[in-house]
Amino acid sequence: MIIVMQARATEADVEYVSRRIEELGLTPHVSRGTERILIGVIGDERLVNRDQLTLLPHVEEVIPILKPYKLASREFQPADSIVSVAGVPIGGNEVVVIAGPCSVEDEEQIVTAAIAVKAAGARLLRGGAYKPRTSPYVFQGLGEEGLKLLARAREKTGLGIVTEVMESSEVDVVAEYADLLQVGARNMQNTKLLRSLSKIDKPVLLKRGPAATLNEFLMSAEYLLSGGNHRVILCERGIRTFVEYTRNTLDLNVVPAVKQLSHLPIIVDPSHGTGRHDLVVPMSRAAIAAGADGLLVEVHPAPEKALSDGEQSLKPAAFADLMREVRCIAPAVGRSVASPAATASGRESARTV
Ligand code: PEP
Ligand code: MN
């Protein structure tokens, strides 16, 4: 970082700030301009609480040079990370579509959904067993029973399963069944949950918080990476909005922005991003065109009977139409889409974790 001293700072002030920098384990480098004295700080500035320097006498400004995240950054790892989920590579050349109902409701519902999404070309099955609902009076998910039903659907279709974990005490049970553990938007900054997930040997799908900045999003990923779990996939699912016609505003800007700043894969959830089934297909097209590594789409065999998020769920036939479009759009932006029977493949220059 660079410390800009106020115009009236004396040599004694510069000396004082320099000594403080040394006490913090860093090295000061003073440059005297015609109007201002600047002190360059050499060392890992991420380890320093910036306020401890900002509040020193006659300091005008402290300008960070490094991003607050390190392991998540492209500077740290220039090659794309490819995260393998039940043998499906996410973050490579292939665009991967994950689909299934918002919640697991019963065996018939989840198995029917799994068969339908697989036939259309989905590579992984989604379904919530632990549900973070806004109202305490509505369906809260089947819990472990839901996980068992997901495992049943996996047995029948061979699709790996993606499901949410809401608290640290449930990480072990969810990890026993899931191939990819989802951190919901509401929990993006639940640092204890992130720490627990950083210790498991399963990949994590980290959804962006409803009002999280890109820095905050990547700092949450940093919790997972710094704790030792390098299998992290990001998911944009819409941010808090003032518009009244959608549930959230799907922030597709974040897709290319993440690609510049980070090596982590990023997928897009157009279901929560819009809250409307009629907008899911157009926003899916846009997400792939913007460079997303995949989609997370809610599909329900009978959305009118769904216990959660029916209004944003596609029927199986509409999902099959979407997959046909995905197979046209992905090649136009240099990406592939596996046919339902295809096996895993990877990009050579990338790092599979
Ligand atoms: C979900 O995927 O069903 C869900 C609850 O998503 P989010 O955390 O993005 O609201
Ligand atoms: Mn949902």
Rounded to the nearest integer, the mean pLDDT of the chain is: 96
Ligand with smallest separation from the Cα of 210? 1
For the stretch 250-280, pLDDT in tens is 999 999 999 999 999 999 999 999 999 999 9
**Which residue, judged by its Cα, is nearest atom 1 of ligand 1?**
102
Q: What is the reported pLDDT for 341?
A: 62
Give residue limits of the domains in the chain. 2-63, 81-352
346 pLDDT band, cuts 50/70/90, is very low
**Mind listing the pLDDT tens digit for each residue in 278-292?**
999 999 999 999 999
Choose the CATH number for 2-63 among 3.40.50.300, 3.40.640.10, 3.40.50.2000, 3.30.70.1140: 3.30.70.1140
Q: Which atom of ligand 1 is nearest to the CA of 126?
A: 2
pLDDT at 187 over 90: yes
The three state secondary structure string of the chain is CEEEECCCCCHHHHHHHHHHHHHCCCEEEEEECCCCEEEEEECCHHHCCCHHHHCCCCEEEEECCCCCCCCCECCCCCCCEEEEECCEEECCCECEEEEECCECCCHHHHHHHHHHHHHHCCCEEECECCCCCCCCCCCCCCCHHHHHHHHHHHHHHCCEEEEECCCHHHHHHHHHHCCEEEECHHHCCCHHHHHHHCCCCCCEEEECCCCCCHHHHHHHHHHHHHCCCCCEEEEECCECCCCCCCCCECCCCHHHHHHHHECCCEEECHHHHHCCHHHHHHHHHHHHHCCCCEEEEEECCCHHHCCCCHHHCECHHHHHHHHHHHHHHHHHCCCECCCCCCCCCCCCCCEEC
pTM of the predicted protein model:
0.94
Which percentage of the chain shows pLDDT scores above 90?
A: 94
Evaluate if residue 339 carries a pLDDT over 90: no
pLDDT interval class at 40 (50, 70, 90) = very high
Residue nearest to atom 10 of ligand 1 (CA): 185
User: What is the predicted pLDDT for the residue at 343?
Assistant: 43
Cβ < 6 A, ligand 1 pocket: 102, 128, 132, 184-186, 207, 237, 272
The CA 308 to ligand 1 mean position distance, Å, reads: 11
Q: Name the pLDDT band for 352 (thresholds 50, 70, 90).
A: confident
Is the per-residue pLDDT at 342 higher than 80? no
**Å from CA of 185 to ligand 1 middle:** 6
Please tell me the distance between residue 102's alpha carbon and the centre of ligand 2 in angstroms.
Answer: 4
Over the stretch 79-101, which tens digit does the pLDDT of each residue have?
Answer: 999 999 999 999 999 999 999 99
pLDDT tier at 310, thresholds 50, 70, 90: very high
User: Which CATH number does 81-352 carry?
Assistant: 3.20.20.70
Say which ligand is closest to the CA of 269.
Answer: 1
